[in-house]
Structure 1
Amino acid sequence: MRFDPEFWKELSRTDFEGAWHRGPEVLSRPSLAATYPRKGFRRAAPHPIAETIQRLREVYLSMGFDEARVPLMIEEADVYRQFGPEASAVLDRVFYLGGLPRPNVGISDRQAEEIMGIIRAENDSYAVPPEEVKEKLQQTFHAYKKATIDGDELSHEIAADLGIDDALVVHILDSIFPEFRDLAPESSRTTLRSHMTSGWFLSLGAMWEHYPRPICLFSIDRCFRREQEEGPTRLMTYHSASCVLAGEEITIEDGKAVSEALLSAFGFEDFEFRPDEKRSKYYIPDTQTEVYARHPEIGWVEVATFGMYSPSALGEYGIGVPVMNLGLGVERLAMILYQADDVRKLTHPQFFPRTLTDREIAAAITLREEAQSPEGRALVEAIMATATANAAAEGPCSFLAFEGEVGGRRLRVFVEEPEENSRLCGPATFNEVFVQDGRVLGVPDTEKFADVRANGAPTGISYLMAAANLAAARIEEAARCGEAASVQVKMAKTPSDVNLRIPDWTMRYITDNKRKVDVRGPVFLTVRGEIGE
């Protein structure tokens, strides 16, 4: 069997092109946008590891490999069968499975009386005699010891036997039977696999005589390794993308062909095959090979290892044909594709300080109150247009902005300034909200703030827009109740003063990084609505 790497190189330029760095995209979805008119919809982001696994699955399946699930729990004896003298060193790095033993619990007469005291304190009319309580408990504990009752069913079974509440049973077990509280786990001889190889030997031993050959299988699943500590390139649990080819004609050349075909789909171009000096005992000597691939953006990196399984190791499972195995670390590949420098951050970003771009902060900023109806949104536009057209008018002054029906009521809405020596719109009314270097800034269109407006991320919100929405929302609500309303936005000191909402998670990022929110400014915009005849 041979795989054509040129085919996969061509495929990488088409089907898989750009798959790794698309990032969030704002999509237009009319049905949803009608429900949430303020914002577009961000395309949900897959986890980098899950995305890498999915792409690997697609490539393996397209190459003709069937997907398999191989055993996760490996007996210690199988590790010795596979690794031979090397097994002791391998077992030093595996996790053994353990569990809590089931105690043999006896019940004395004194304990039975204590149990009755607890029960009667909660149930004055409890009439079951102590000897019957003792007998029922002994039977239940015996069933638990024999594993006919599971541990998570014990409290419920006792409660049912004695006719008492589950919570009371928990109190009895904790206070009278320290055997349960003092249990310590005991280890078995079963391990969690540290290599996919462990599962492949077991699987191929069961199937090689019963399936047409060559057998082409892949599995992408977790492995576990008892590292002394995790680091930027090392986790205690990781994913291996592993495959096997089993058949009479399989050679080490198939490993090279599969490597090139697999990695070509991810944009890697040139390949080098270098002897792996680790030389695991389950491989034929001098066949264990490291794959180095050159990515056009990253350069040369080690991405996989392959080799031919040793006939002596195969013989332990009665496998009578040559087997090539290739293993690829998913996290390593994902680090390369996402240009990450710490696998811990790539895998578990929730445990590390989050970085928000200016655009992400800007997208998170919304209005606290908005008009809800089409008439209310038309009112917003009318208020903004009237305020803009008459911004410099001296007070006292009043301008009719809207006349029509809102909330089932005839309504007239005015933009006005009731005080003398004041203009209709305050100096900050036309400020717009931008985010630059993590700072949320409300700035006017002046030379002083040209850099913020040119290089900051716009929110698309001006103070006028925010104030108009606040006024329209409250006038709209008052109109439904048949009431007039007047709304005035005065001096803005905080986001809420100008009807801005900054989510708490965004504010946490801003404060944690010692950035600021500065939306101060004199707005002094008054909007009044009156019910018409």
Structure 2
Amino acid sequence: MRFDSEEFAELAKKDFDEAWHAGAGIQEKPAFSRRYPRNMLQPAKPHPVPETIQKLRDAYLRMGFDEARVPVFIEEQDVYRQFGPEASAVLDRVFYLGGLPRPNVGIGKKQIDEINSILGRIISADEEENLRKTLHAYKKSEIDGDELTHELAVVLSADDGMIVKILDDVFPEFRELSPESSRTTLRSHMTSGWFITLGEMWDRQSLPIKQFAVDRCFRREQEEGPTRLMAYHSASCIIAGEDVTVEDGKAVAAGLLSAFGFTDFEFRPDDKRSKYYVPGTQTEVYAKHPVHGWVEVATFGMYSPYALAAYGVEIPVMNLGMGVERLAMIEYKAEDMRVMTYPQMYPPQFSDLELATGITLREEPKTAEGAEIAAAIVETAKANGDAESPCEFLAYESDTYGGRKVRVYVFEAEENSKLLGPAALNDVFVSEGKILGVPDTSNFRKVRDKGVSAGISYLDAVANLAAARVEEGFMTGECGEVHFKMAKVPSDVNIAIEPWAMRYVTDNNRKLDLRGPVFTAVRWEIE
């Protein structure tokens, strides 16, 4: 189920901890920061590739092109029809489709004995015969591979687990199968599919025919690189009609790129001269990339009459193919197509602001009264932070807290000290990927001015933990106290760092320092 932002926010406001419904007269506080992290209500990020595809689709449709789907599986003979003698070299860059052959499984006395041993009983003559028939039907492709286990389970009246063991132990032929290649290839460029499509429709529709398709192509590159992938998207189109020329290709390319706001592009003759294009018409389209300079994003040309004749097509055809990922690289200023397309495969980069959203409280009060207690602790501690110890200050008092009287004190029992330790007022900042607890002093002015505040101080964090403990005391009717001493790790001051943020810090050798002497305590009395 999905909600728009208003619906989701409304649900978040209503999400209370049901455990507190039994508390007499306690006003509940939404556990928003615990259940709904701050970044969950931010707009989601679309992927650059489908976003670019959608813009290309809109541009093509506005220019009067009908959307089409062209074949993905291309027979080897079609490659020869399109490329002629050059096909042998072209086929070196395509993927051939392969599959596992159906094994011819023999069933002798040895196999029957092993089946009996696994099942713990002797199968009947009818079961043996039906077993042979089922395996034979599988061999003849009358039974699909994903149905075989179930069919054998029915024949032998056994569960699927035993059938899997039988196939693995008794019939090693299944495990030892090796894939065999067919003569069917995966489409390496959209042209392969357009020839087949044109052959079926050119004389059945009114001219000119204007169609486009945005879909995957597969090319067996020696290796992938910053501007090259083995599986990529091509935004390809054709214009077929009596008066079609190569100038139509320039117009389409200009129209597509201008839809993205590009004006810095140019046309260059393509020296590769594919056999399926008329000599002198094959043209490359380049757009400027801020890092890689001029990047080829499209190619267009007029299909060769000889290649078209192989499919019975008797009219001129202009074809243009545009690399979606390369265009997206320019649009999104990406430096590596692999990282842009498959970001989950590469370490993500987070800004200081994004890292700050991953810093939260480990525990916090669940009720509105609990939030008031936390705020009162902070206010009282700040007002009396320099008081000489031993000392104690009443921070909160109420006789309406669920019908019970509650008093909360901030105190320091040790002598020759102060109510608050030197680090109690430290604030949590993220600066250049480092997570730091820093005081408001001139020595840390650069961190505070250039960094991003997580909106949490050590005192805020410990006050929220203390308030949560007061709530627990209310439920049990017990008084208590909580002490905060030297902070060595974030949990010592009730601070949690999301795993993804911690992973980023450690992967990038950034500093995490939330240490410091807090030295204060909170106690509560419940009557």
User: Is the TM-score greater than 0.5?
Assistant: yes
Measure how far apart 1:407 and its partner are: 5.3
Residue 109 of structure 1 is matched in structure 2 by 109
Which of 10, 13, 24 is matched with 1:31 structurally? 10
Where does the alignment leave 5 or more consecutive residues of structure 2 unmatched? 16-30
Deviation at 1:30, TM superposition (A): 4.3
Secondary structure at the residue paired with 2:423? coil
1:521 maps to 2:516: yes
Q: Which digits, 9 at most, give the CA deviation of each residue in 1:435-462, with x for residues without a partner?
A: 2222211110111111111112211110
Deviations 1:122-144 (A, max 9, x none): xxxx4533x33421211111110
Bigger mean CA deviation after superposition, 320-329 or 188-197: 320-329
Task: State the one-letter code of the partner of 1:384.
Answer: V
1:370 aligns with 2:364: yes
Match of 1:134 in 2: 128
Q: Distance in 2 between matches of 1:117 and 1:217?
A: 63
Q: Which moved more, 1:154-163 or 1:57-66?
A: 57-66
**1:296–1:146 CA distance, 2 compared to 1 (3 A):** closer
Name the CA shift for 1:83/1:399 in 2 (closer, same or farther; >3 Å): same
User: RMSD across aligned C-alpha pairs, in angstroms?
Assistant: 2.2
Matched, 1:395 2:389: yes
For residues 343-402 of structure 1, the C-alpha deviation after alignment (integer angstroms, 9 at most, x for no partner) is 222222222233232222222111100112222222222111111111112223222222
Q: Name whichever of 382-391 and 348-357 sits farther off.
A: 348-357
What one-letter code is carried by the residue in structure 2 that aligns with 1:377? Answer: A
Q: 2:306 aligns with which of 312, 318, 330?
A: 312
**Aligned residue number for residue 484 of structure 1:** 479
Is it true that 1:248 corresponds to 2:227 in the alignment?
A: no
Work out the CA distance in 2 between the residues paired with 1:99 and 1:92.
19
Q: Which amino acid aligns with 2:507?
A: D
* Pair 1:93–1:281, CA change in 2 (3 A): same
Shift of 1:433: 0.7
User: Could you tell me how far apart the structure 2 residues matched to 1:286 and 1:461 are?
Assistant: 67
* Amino acid corresponding to residue 175 of structure 2 in structure 1: R
Cα offset for 1:412?
A: 2.0
Larger displacement relative to structure 2 (215-224 or 479-488): 479-488
Q: CA deviation at 1:518?
A: 1.0
CA contact (8 A) 1:27 1:42 kept: no
**Larger CA deviation: 435-444 vs 95-104:** 435-444
- 2:292–2:335 Cα contact (<8 Å) kept: no
Q: 1:179 offset after TM fit, Å?
A: 1.4
Paired position in structure 2 for 1:448: 443
- Taking structure 2 as the reference length, the TM-score comes to 0.90
| Residue 118 of structure 2 is aligned to residue 118 of structure 1 | yes
Shift of 1:296: 8.7
Identity of aligned residues (%): 63
Separation (CA, whole Å) in 1 of partners of 2:204 and 2:376: 78
Q: Pick one of 226, 230, 233 that aligns with 2:224.
A: 230
Could you say if the C-alpha distance between residues 406 and 202 of structure 1 is closer, same or farther in structure 2, counting changes exceeding 3 Å? farther
TM-score (norm 1): 0.89
Residue 175 of structure 2 corresponds to residue 181 of structure 1: yes
**Post-superposition offset of 1:426:** 1.3
Separation in structure 2 between the aligned mates of residue 161 and residue 294 of structure 1, nearest angstrom: 65
| 2: CA distance, partners of 1:236 / 1:105 | 38
The alpha carbon displacement at 1:294 in A equals: 4.8
| Corresponding residue number in structure 1 for 2:185 | 191
Partner of 1:326: 320
Q: Distance in 2 between matches of 1:169 and 1:163?
A: 10
The answer as to whether partners of 1:493 and 1:519 remain within 8 angstroms in 2 is yes
2:289 & 2:6 partners in 1: Cα distance?
31
In structure 2, how many angstroms separate the alpha carbons of the residues matched to 1:96 and 1:336? 32
Tell whether the 8 Å contact from 2:269 to 2:280 is kept in structure 1 after alignment: yes
| TM-superposed deviation, 1:297 | 9.4
Query: Are 1:223 and 1:240, in contact at CA under 8 Å, matched by a contact in 2?
Result: yes
Q: Does 2:480 correspond to 1:472?
A: no
Quote the Cα distance in structure 2 between the aligned partners of 1:245 and 1:102: 44
- Return the offset for 1:96: 0.7
Counterpart mapping for 1:252-263 below 5 A: 252-263=246-257
Residues 146-179 of structure 1: CA deviation (Å, up to 9, x unaligned): 1111111112211111111222122222222221
Q: For 1:412, give the aligned amino acid.
A: R
Of the three residues 162, 165, 173, the one matched with 1:171 is 165
- Report which stretch shifted further, 229-238 or 143-152: 229-238
Query: Aligned partners of 1:74 and 1:169: how far apart in 2?
Result: 37
* 1:158 corresponding residue in structure 2: 152
**Alignment: residue pair count:** 501
Distance 2:506 2:435 in 1: 11
Structure 1, gaps ≥5 residues long: 1-25, 121-125
Q: Which amino acid aligns with 1:468?
A: A
Structure 1 residue 233: Cα displacement = 2.1
Distance 1:355 1:271, change over 3 A: closer
